[in-house]
Amino acid sequence: MTQYWLMKSEPDEYGWDDLTRDGETKWSGVRNFAAAKNMRAMEKGDLAFFYHSRTGLAVVGIMEITRSHYPDPSADNDKFVLVDVRPVKALVRPVPLQEIKANPKLSDMALVKQSRLSVSPVSAAQWVEIIAMAEK
């Protein structure tokens, strides 16, 4: 069964356009234990929203997890992992954080409740709602 996620990246460091240009990348550098735990739960075939953090503050695209977690060689211990991702498609319209926060159906979303978490789970209902918001 497909699980859903939200993964944040600063667009001036590595944005959606970079991922679409590259075709696939290793999602590395996560150094938060809760975010790393979420990455360890990811399976090949899961889907993730690509979220532009710091500047932009919006969900901009959909990625697929193409390789489940494995050790992040840039980490100084084995607690941190990375996954491989590929772009699936850009959203019809980016969904800004302000709209997500204003939507009562998304009030329990980790992006709203734990805003600093760089990798977070998304429920199936939340996934469908954000897709619907992007298509309005």
Spans of all domains in the chain: 4-134
Query: What pLDDT does residue 119 have?
Result: 93
**Environment class of 109 (CB within 10 Å of its CB; exposed 0-12, middle 13-18, buried 19+):** buried
Query: What pLDDT does residue 32 have?
Result: 83
Instruction: Give the chain's count of helices (H) and strands (E).
Output: 6, 6
CA-to-CA dists, residue 49 to 9, 38, 41, 88, angstroms: 11, 14, 16, 10
Alpha carbon distance 85, 65 (integer Å) = 5
Query: What pLDDT does residue 54 have?
Result: 87
Query: What pLDDT does residue 116 have?
Result: 80
Question: What is the block-wise mean pLDDT of the chain (136 residues), using blocks of 10 residues?
Answer: 94 95 92 88 97 93 96 85 96 97 96 88 97 95
Query: What pLDDT does residue 4 have?
Result: 98
Residue that is written with structure tokens 């590259």 in the block: 22
State the amino acid at position 42 in one-letter form: M
Alpha carbon distance 29, 109 (integer Å) = 23
Q: Are strands 4-9 and 25-27 parallel, antiparallel or unpaired?
A: unpaired
Please identify, in words, the CATH class of the domain defined by 4-134. Answer: alpha beta
